[in-house]
Structure 1
């Protein structure tokens, strides 16, 4: 094991800078909370809310209709974004139903 020594003044400066960084991150997090970023939903929740299958959800992501964020292999959606496309999905469902009817 290697031991490294530093002056007390240098150590105190480093800890002060680290404390500044921590306060900066906390301030940013607090500002974002105030903006009402809202709840994030996963694939299963969005499929249930929109009454669609996972493949349809994939299509909505692929064609840019629904914005998403990915952390590792998990995909999340803002509740507000999902709410905005409820009418889009409903209209597509009506169009598909109309086209499938035979007269």
Structure 2
């Protein structure tokens, strides 16, 4: 059985390599499921807007929505299109 001595430099290098590998595996949003339909609070968070601004986008037709029961839903593709400056998809 051989004995290996680890130095602080070895541990620092291991830490750097480990963090690099973790960052490769876990990237922001990588594991978030892309939902086809989003609720109002999700859209507001995504666009960083107030409820009133979201209502304005609905009223002036900039953002299409579907109402089911008492909840409003928005297509993910429409939100992306709005963010890219292409307006809502038809």
Which bin holds the TM-score, normalised by the shorter protein? 0.5 to 0.7
Give the aligned CA root-mean-square deviation in angstroms.
1.2
Uncovered stretches (5+) of structure 1, i.e. residues with no partner: 1-37, 89-103
Q: Shift in Å at residue 87 of structure 1?
A: 4.0
Q: TM-score, normalised by structure 1?
A: 0.47
Match of 2:13 in 1: none
Secondary structure at the aligned position of 2:67 is classed as: strand
Q: Which has the larger radius of gyration?
A: 1
Name segments (4+ residues, structure 1) moved above 4 Å.
Answer: none
Matches within 5 A, 1:46-61: 46-61=43-58
Structure 1 distance, partners of 2:54, 2:71, is 14
Matches within 5 A, 1:13-24: none
Match of 2:68 in 1: 71
Higher helix fraction (1 or 2):
1
Match of 2:42 in 1: 45
Secondary structure at the aligned position of 2:61 is classed as: coil
Structure 1 distance, partners of 2:51, 2:84, is 18
Structure 1 distance, partners of 2:58, 2:84, is 16
Q: TM-score, normalised by structure 2?
A: 0.54
